[in-house]
Structure 1
């Protein structure tokens, strides 16, 4: 029997899980890049890719009340608000797609050689 300096820690299993998670994360990111999301406010529609890149702005005739400085400032505010609406939708989309992968969902239970029978759960830094 060879002594493992890491005890019951199965590094091969951990590496395999990490590689699987990396592949899943890359696939989810590629899927996000192909999707589009729209945000709209007051006749202005902003389109973003699933990764948050601005890909289009559509301004309806009803979004512009006039050509004076105040009307154009209002139009700028509508564009910003529509962008924020679209960005919040992109953030939700990304959280849904990447949440389990980006949130540290790596299950090390099997790689560590067992579960509760091996002893009490270790204390986390900060006491929780």
Structure 2
């Protein structure tokens, strides 16, 4: 008769050599790397520009708006609608660059978690 009891008491994986401490240590290292990358992103800035520099918007690496520059004398103060559209377009440009920077910094770290179907990170929700 076959038993469902693990080969090693206290080892729920039946003596397969699964090292929970090593897994926890790796997770802590990954967490620190993610925190470091997030700190770098918070300090980084990227610019989005439209109309040959008519409007430039600066955002942080985390996507927070930190500055807007409008070239002096380049718009009619009575017609603010065009300027508003340019600011939105410049923000979208800057935000896309910010997202790309975040992907470059955090992408390799997320891949290291082994996400996807059946990967080791999948069980952890990564």
Which runs of no fewer than 5 residues in structure 1 stay unpaired? 108-122
1:31 deviates by: 0.7
Aligned with 1:36 (options 45, 53, 65): 45
2:121 corresponds to which residue? none
Counterpart-to-counterpart distance in 2, 1:72 and 1:90 = 27
Counterpart-to-counterpart distance in 2, 1:46 and 1:67 = 19
Q: TM-score, normalised by structure 2?
A: 0.76
Counterpart-to-counterpart distance in 2, 1:84 and 1:63 = 20
List per-residue Cα deviations over 1:14-44 (Å, max 9, x = no partner).
Answer: 1011000001000000111111100000200
1:67 deviates by: 2.8
Sort the Cα spacing of 1:6 and 1:62 in 2 relative to 1 into closer, same or farther, 3 A: farther
1:79 aligns with 2:114: no
State the structure with bigger RCO (CA 8 A, min sep 6), 1 or 2: 1
RMSD: 1.9
Q: TM-score, normalised by structure 1?
A: 0.74
2:57 corresponds to which residue? 46
Query: Between Structure 1 and Structure 2, how many residues are aligned?
Result: 105
1:5 corresponds to which residue? 12
Which runs of no fewer than 5 residues in structure 2 stay unpaired? 1-6, 119-126
Q: In the TM superposition, what are the counterparts of 1:1-128 in structure 2 within 5 Å?
A: 2-3=8-9, 4-7=11-14, 8=16, 9-42=18-51, 43-61=54-72, 63-64=74-75, 66-68=76-78, 71-103=79-111, 105-106=112-113, 124=118
1:5 deviates by: 1.3
